[in-house]
Structure 1
């Protein structure tokens, strides 16, 4: 706990983090996120002259939200902050350290929904069809094929073990958010990539290492290494935009939805608890359709200038 936070605030925070880790069994990453959000609020309260959680009111939290907004935080980030505060006060209420939950009726300001960036089908095919130039690129292509084939999150990919994938059945058993397990289909190209990677992996990893994807040292590959290798792959293989792991997941979802139109199936494949999370891809698909419409429909084409309009009008009159 940072030294500048007094025990009156820091002590309850430390107990709450212990509760989140041991009783609720949240991941270290989730616990770190909660701790950072609560520390930020605690520091702000100290600046306002308050050192007691039980003295915080709804009015105080509204001022805090306004402060976060002035600092440039998005509505989504502020909503995450408020979620952490609500959970914290639920704990304080349970333990008898607070009389109410001042965050219950506080809402984050709305912000425009940012649509995920995706690569088009031709670009993905071009990148994944590129031949590896060295052994670790065999691994890299296998990782990216599998990520795009099954819509995996970065953490899901890195946590795969060799026995997580049944190549004969064409299936992968994946542990997603909240420790939930789902069984996913694996495409032919990804299965081919796995069959090419396994002999290379055998020369790197000791027999006791369960991880499917390993580093040059033979241990499980880190999230940061996957990110760096995908970025490198895009540069070396000629991508026209910077690649990151979630882009492959977004591309999987968008391409699946565009081809099938089955939103519920895409939700299951992605492991989304709420279908509203999956619906962002319907907006993405509509944007694609709208661009095609604008470029193709004779009564919808947009002109860049009045002169161009007149020129085109004259041409249309001659046809």
Structure 2
């Protein structure tokens, strides 16, 4: 079957992207560009040289109209911009038209972190002792101990574990090392002793499923949601919420925003500031205690 003209250049772009980006990123970009090609074909446009800012604005507007969230629109726009740079390099466009479009306003909605005591009770609820239960406990402890993203935990191999730290590949395949707490370390040791009961021969993945191969993203999400139900957690649980709880609890205790930024693998400090949002009273109390010109003198109230 002959590939459509628009799809040919998309395929070339994605093949190049796959050499440096993660499979998840390539998959997301493929979805974004497929949406654009469908839109252009509906407009009877079959040549990338016709792509301009007007078309892009109409496309992004149509995506918003059908309910695409700001975050998804932002990712879609980023994919289009990177692809447009490819088209410029290929001589199919004179300039990148995406830079003339406005980025969607990012949503500041964040998952509410779990209460520290509530999360401790959840993590301390014993399992049934089966290899699957031991594996699930190790995943839970590692998520909360090290603030890992779902893709980072799913991608771990046995060789990534060290005595008190774990090596992960973050966004853009950027490597970093994060510490592993004592409770997570203990849970991982127990898991490694029984992992052989599930893992297939030669399997390098740290966490495996019933079939003996690497546990997938969706399977991990389903296990966390199921554990929340069976252990009586009255709230939905997903990997990002454990990551957010890790960051919020650590920042509340340490007040070290830079350290939390490094542990989360954020490129920009502003991302960490939003991600680890603290309530105003906590920030105000820290300010009053730390700033030399913030502390009130005893006679201030008398002068007021």
TM-score by length of 2: 0.86
Residue 121 of structure 1 and its aligned partner are, at CA, apart by 0.6
1:154 correspondence with 2:150 = yes
Q: What runs of 5+ residues in structure 2 fail to find an aligned partner? A: 284-304
> 1:192: which partner in 2?
186
Query: Given that residues 79 and 107 in structure 1 are in contact (C-alpha distance below 8 angstroms), is that contact kept between their aligned partners in structure 2?
Result: no
1:15 correspondence with 2:8 = no
Residue 109 of structure 1 and its aligned partner are, at CA, apart by 3.1
Structure 1 residues 162 and 111: alpha-carbon distance in aligned structure 2, compared to 1, 3 A threshold: closer
Query: Given that residues 209 and 215 in structure 2 are in contact (C-alpha distance below 8 angstroms), is that contact kept between their aligned partners in structure 1?
Result: yes
**Structure-1 separation of matches of 2:180 and 2:93:** 50
Matches within 5 A, 1:228-307: 228-282=222-276, 284-286=277-279, 289=282
**Structure-1 separation of matches of 2:245 and 2:59:** 37
**Structure-2 separation of matches of 1:179 and 1:43:** 30
Matches within 5 A, 1:1-319: 7-22=4-19, 25-135=20-130, 136-167=132-163, 170-206=164-200, 208-282=202-276, 284-286=277-279, 289=282
Q: Secondary structure at the match of 2:41?
A: helix
Structure number with greater Rg is: 1
Residue 150 of structure 1 and its aligned partner are, at CA, apart by 0.6
The one-character-per-residue Cα deviations of 1:254-298 (angstroms, maximum 9, x if unpaired) are: 11111111111001001111222111134x3126859xxxxxxxx
Query: Given that residues 74 and 106 in structure 2 are in contact (C-alpha distance below 8 angstroms), is that contact kept between their aligned partners in structure 1?
Result: no
Structure 1 window deviating more from structure 2 (74-83 vs 140-149): it is 74-83
**Structure-1 separation of matches of 2:137 and 2:116:** 16
TM-score by length of 1: 0.82
Structure 1 window deviating more from structure 2 (62-71 vs 257-266): it is 62-71
Q: What runs of 5+ residues in structure 1 fail to find an aligned partner? A: 291-319
Structure 1 residues 107 and 172: alpha-carbon distance in aligned structure 2, compared to 1, 3 A threshold: same
Residue 74 of structure 1 and its aligned partner are, at CA, apart by 2.1
Structure 1 residues 122 and 287: alpha-carbon distance in aligned structure 2, compared to 1, 3 A threshold: farther
> 2:302: which partner in 1?
none
**Structure-2 separation of matches of 1:197 and 1:288:** 41
**Structure-2 separation of matches of 1:17 and 1:54:** 19
Over aligned residues, Cα RMSD in angstroms? 2.2
The one-character-per-residue Cα deviations of 1:2-34 (angstroms, maximum 9, x if unpaired) are: x9xx73312221222222224xx2222211211
Residue 152 of structure 1 and its aligned partner are, at CA, apart by 0.9
Q: Secondary structure at the match of 1:50?
A: coil
Q: Secondary structure at the match of 1:166?
A: coil
Query: Given that residues 160 and 212 in structure 1 are in contact (C-alpha distance below 8 angstroms), is that contact kept between their aligned partners in structure 2?
Result: yes
**Structure-1 separation of matches of 2:210 and 2:6:** 45
Runs of 4 or more above 6 Å deviation: none
The one-character-per-residue Cα deviations of 1:179-209 (angstroms, maximum 9, x if unpaired) are: 2221211111111111222222133335633
Q: Secondary structure at the match of 1:208?
A: coil
**Structure-2 separation of matches of 1:216 and 1:287:** 46
